[in-house]
Amino acid sequence: MTNPSTDSEPSWFERPQNIKKLTGALVVSCVVLVIADGFYENPHPHFDLETSFGFQAWFGFIAFVVIVFLGRLLRLIVSKPEDYYERRR
Amino acid sequence: MNVVANLPPGWIMIAGALVLLLAVPRTMHSLGVLVVSAISLVSFLYRFSFSEDVTFGNIELFGAQLQMVRVDKFSRVFALVFHIAAIVAAIYALHLRDTKQSIAAMVYAGAAIGAACAGDLVTLFVYWELTAISSVILVWATNTETAYRSGMRYLIIQVASGVLLLSGAIFQFVQTGSLAFESFVVDGQSLSPAGILVLLAFGIKCAFPLLHNWLQDSYPNATPTGTVFLSAFTTKLAVYSLIRGFAGYEPLIWIGCAMTLFPIVFAVIENDLRRVLAYSLNNQLGFMVVGIGIGSELALNGTVAHAFCHIIYKSLLFMSMGAVMLRVGTTKATELGGLHKSMPWTTAYCMIGAGAISGFPLLSGFISKSMIISAAGEAHLFWVWIVLLIASAGVMEHSGIKIPFFAFFAHDSGKRVDEAPLNMLVAMAIAAAFCIGLGVAYPLLYRILPFDVDYHPYTVTHVVTQLQLLMFAGLAFVFLMKSGLYPDEKRATVLDTDWVYRRALPKFVRGLRVTVDTVGGSMRGDTNVVLQSFYQNAKSTFDENGILGRTWSSGTMAFWTTVLLATCLGIYYF
């Protein structure tokens, strides 16, 4: 059991400067990964698209955003109150 | 001892469950599960080496040839990973003092192993139903009304799957005279009726789209330990069976694509994190079904490898959420957050599982999922390849980020709990070690795959492109969070196909009953009026004052008789 007196203090992951550091690291690694695309050649591509510059980078970004927005749309249709099935009738 | 050595795979666990139940004190039951599972694994490894196929237990039943045991390159891998899953889950459940769950879990694991080594359709059917009946106890053991009802729905659907399988087996026997469990796919021909029935049976257990919802319905309702067992066996047994019966059956590619896509959208808005994991399980099964549909050696190798890795990382994820469930009492994202402070180990293991399922390099998903994606590339299936990439970004969303982030980080819920019990941590540590081990020492896994492997996961291209996909998906998450576009966690019930039988059908039936009652009521009223008036008429005619009922005088009678005789005479003469 952790000590309750230290519990309320923000942990390493909750301090704003550390969140900034983590975000910064993510952005830097993304940039490095795209730059890396210029330094190797795909020896065995199956499709043309695969060899275009930074393909999986922009594809991953867009796919993620689209999925989340589809989720928001879906919520309009299928989201019901929590007691939907168990409501007393 | 000779008898024990010659038991079919899985029977050691099923028989062991009986022994535990009858001869071992209650407090030792959960330890017993671990011991028996370990014995079963040792005996399996000792008897079924990885070099040759073994079949035995050929018996004749009502003129049909059954083959109770067939251990070959496919069944061996699945039986092995089922054993590993059973042992890890048994360690995870060591703290339990619940005989019902211990025994049920062991019979369930034994039945799954037995089914993976069954050589004919009837033996498969017996194990198939045994997995259904034993596993439902893990849902019911939660002891709530909700769990009871959900378990009932689960049982009905699972048993229905078994009935379809048996019908398929009978069709097959009538048609071909054989019950052997072989491929139903013949090049250039459509499936036989037997094939269709069996495919449907497998499809239910494998949670094909529209047949999938029993999974999201029941797994989150099972006990924290029960879900770990559930996640390992039923659906992967179906994957194994599909490999056996339907490898290379093309429609499976598209079914699999649908399976990888739709659950990720549901997972985005689902609040219960164990239900998110159930959707994610569905999505991972989709990858395997695509692999089975492609059917090339690389694709089937990929499917088997992915099933192997998946069983372990999915167990790990369910274990971490089970620990949260045990300590906090809920896995709803709205009520969690900030748990990394009080459950640091669970957090770390969960993140390893999340990394493995997303396919980060050096973790197990990376070396197995990519085989299936490459197989799609080699078969020049461009759209399938695109779908699998989208699905990979989706996995990153729901399992890679959502599960660990909302449970352990996000906004601090203020909940301060104990770290998970030691045995749970040990089980998670073992599973996490497997996730890393399989990702690093992948040749060990590749060596036991059904076909020779000529695949190298750690090429520069693969590592860089995969990292691009994952990191940019992560970047998209940060972007959506910062801009406030990411949907808030909301307490809600997300409707799925279960709405049809939980809401629409009962409503329809209720409506039908009211209609029948109304129509029946009015018809009954009308009939009554008609009968009443008929009765009144008859009564007024026949009672003592009625024309036919009253006593007539002799004179009148004599008169009418005379008239009658005269009439007869008249008719006679003319």
Q: What are the pLDDT digits (tens) for B53-109?
A: 888 888 888 788 888 899 999 999 999 999 999 999 999 999 999 999 999 999 999
Give me the percent of chain B exceeding a pLDDT of 90.
80
How far from the centroid of its chain's Cα atoms is residue B303's Cα? 18
CA-to-CA dists, residue B546 to B354, B531, B557, angstroms? 93, 19, 16
CB nearest B473 (choices: A40, A60, A77): A60
> Helices in B7-72 by DSSP H: which ranges?
11-23, 29-47
CB nearest A7 (choices: B396, B416, B476): B416
Are B243 and B181 contacting, i.e. CB atoms less than 8 angstroms apart?
no
CB nearest B494 (choices: A36, A46, A78): A78
Does residue A70 register a pLDDT over 60? Answer: yes
Closest by Cα among B472, B461, B384, B359 to A45: B461
Chain A: give the shortest CA distance to residue B21, in Å.
36
Task: Note whether B492 contacts A81, CB cutoff 8 Å.
Answer: yes
Are B397 and B267 contacting, i.e. CB atoms less than 8 angstroms apart?
yes
Closest by Cα among B298, B168, B129, B309 to B236: B309
Residues paired with B120 in a beta bridge:
B180
> Distance between CA B379 and CA B381 in Å, rounded?
5
Chain A hits for B393, Cβ within 8 Å: 59-60, 63-64, 67
Are B204 and B211 contacting, i.e. CB atoms less than 8 angstroms apart?
yes
Closest by Cα among B262, B258, B256 to B294: B256
Does residue B350 register a pLDDT over 60? Answer: yes
pLDDT at site B304: 97
Residue of chain A minimizing CA distance to B402: A68
pLDDT at site B115: 96
pLDDT at site B548: 78
Output phi, psi for A79, to 5 deg.
-85, 125
pLDDT at site B319: 97
> Distance between CA B87 and CA B313 in Å, rounded?
14
Does residue B132 register a pLDDT over 80? Answer: yes
CA-to-CA dists, residue B543 to B497, B528, B536, B537, B556, angstroms? 66, 21, 10, 10, 19
pLDDT at site B544: 79
Q: Going by C-beta distance under 8 Å and a sequence separation of 6 or more, which residues neighbour residue B512?
A: none
* Mean pLDDT computed over B118-134: 95
> Distance between CA B63 and CA B84 in Å, rounded?
37
Amino acid at B109: A
Task: Note whether B268 contacts A34, CB cutoff 8 Å.
Answer: no
Chain A hits for B268, Cβ within 8 Å: 67-68, 70-72, 74
CB nearest B397 (choices: A27, A37, A67): A67
Kind and range of the H or E run holding B56: strand B54-61
Task: Note whether B475 contacts A40, CB cutoff 8 Å.
Answer: no
> Which range is least confidently modeled, A7-11, B68-72, B82-86, B351-355?
A7-11
How many residues can be counted in chain B? 574
Picking from B148, B217, B262, B265 by the largest number of A CB atoms within 10 A of its own CB, the best residue to mutate is B265
pLDDT at site B2: 63
CA angle B423, B429, B435 (to 5 degrees): 145
Task: Note whether B478 contacts A26, CB cutoff 8 Å.
Answer: yes
pLDDT at site B493: 85
Alpha carbons within 13 angstroms on the beta-carbon side of residue B431 total 41
3-class secondary structure, B348? helix
pLDDT at site B100: 93
Q: What is the dihedral of CA B49, B53, B57, B60, to 10 degrees?
A: 170
Structure confidence at residue B376 as a pLDDT band (50, 70, 90): very high
Picking from B218, B469, B472, B475 by the largest number of A CB atoms within 10 A of its own CB, the best residue to mutate is B472
* Mean pLDDT computed over B249-275: 94
pLDDT at site A2: 46
Chain A contacts in chain B segment 380-409 (CB below 8 A): 380, 382, 385, 389-390, 393-394, 396-397, 409
Chain B: give the shortest CA distance to residue A36, in Å.
8
Q: Going by C-beta distance under 8 Å and a sequence separation of 6 or more, which residues neighbour residue B394?
A: A63, A64, A67, B260, B261, B264, B265, B267, B283
Residue of chain A minimizing CA distance to B496: A78
Chain A hits for B486, Cβ within 8 Å: 68
3-class secondary structure, B493? strand
Tokens of B342: 């009080």
Kind and range of the H or E run holding B96: none
> Distance between CA B107 and CA B312 in Å, rounded?
20
pLDDT at site B153: 94
Chain B hits for A14, Cβ within 8 Å: 338, 412
What b/e sequence results for B509-523 when a residue is b if at least 16 CB atoms lie within 10 Å of its CB, and e otherwise? eeeeeeeeeeeeeee
| B380 torsion bin: left (phi>0), alpha (psi -120 to 50), beta (else) | left
How many residues can be counted in chain A? 89
Q: Is B437 exposed, middle or buried (0-12, 13-18, 19+ CB in 10 A)?
A: middle
- Report the helix count and the strand count for chain B, using DSSP H and E: 23, 3
Structure confidence at residue B437 as a pLDDT band (50, 70, 90): very high
Task: Note whether A56 contacts B466, CB cutoff 8 Å.
Answer: yes
Closest by Cα among B174, B172, B398 to B277: B398
CB nearest A11 (choices: B341, B389, B468): B341
Tokens of A56: 């999986």
Both ends of chain B: CA-CA distance in Å?
109
Residue of chain A minimizing CA distance to B487: A72
Does residue B258 register a pLDDT over 70? Answer: yes
CB nearest B487 (choices: A27, A65, A75): A75
Tokens of B152: 């009932």
pLDDT at site A5: 42
Closest by Cα among B99, B93, B70 to B9: B70
Q: Going by C-beta distance under 8 Å and a sequence separation of 6 or more, which residues neighbour residue B554?
A: none
Closest by Cα among B227, B238, B217 to B164: B238
pLDDT at site B229: 96
What b/e sequence results for B441-456 when a residue is b if at least 16 CB atoms lie within 10 Å of its CB, and e otherwise? ebeebbebbbeebebe
Q: Going by C-beta distance under 8 Å and a sequence separation of 6 or more, which residues neighbour residue B332?
A: B271, B272, B273, B491
- ipTM of the assembly? 0.90
Residues paired with B59 in a beta bridge:
B66
DSSP classification of residue B52: S
* Mean pLDDT computed over B495-502: 86
pLDDT at site A88: 55
- Listed by start position, the domains of chain A span 16-39+54-78
Does residue B399 register a pLDDT over 90? Answer: yes
> Distance between CA B410 and CA B323 in Å, rounded?
18
> Which range is least confidently modeled, B37-51, B307-321, B369-383?
B37-51
Does residue B170 register a pLDDT over 50? Answer: yes
> Distance between CA B118 and CA B8 in Å, rounded?
9
Residue of chain B minimizing CA distance to A41: B461
Tokens of B196: 């269709």
Picking from A33, A49, A77 by the largest number of B CB atoms within 10 A of its own CB, the best residue to mutate is A33
CB pairs under 8 A between A and B: 163
The rounded mean pLDDT for chain B is 92
- Based on its alpha-carbon atoms, the radius of gyration of chain A, rounded to whole angstroms, reads 22
Q: Going by C-beta distance under 8 Å and a sequence separation of 6 or more, which residues neighbour residue B352?
A: B316, B363, B432, B435, B436
| Whole-structure pTM value | 0.89
Does residue B343 register a pLDDT over 90? Answer: yes
Alpha carbons within 13 angstroms on the beta-carbon side of residue A89 total 5
CB nearest B460 (choices: A40, A70, A81): A40
Cβ atoms < 10 Å from Cβ of B537: 11
Task: Note whether A33 contacts B412, CB cutoff 8 Å.
Answer: no
pLDDT at site B4: 65
Tokens of B173: 């026997």
CB nearest A37 (choices: B464, B485, B494): B464
CA-to-CA dists, residue B465 to A50, A67, B305, B396, angstroms? 9, 20, 21, 14
> Distance between CA B303 and CA B368 in Å, rounded?
8
Tokens of B294: 């492609």
> Distance between CA B134 and CA B2 in Å, rounded?
28
* Mean pLDDT computed over A57-82: 92
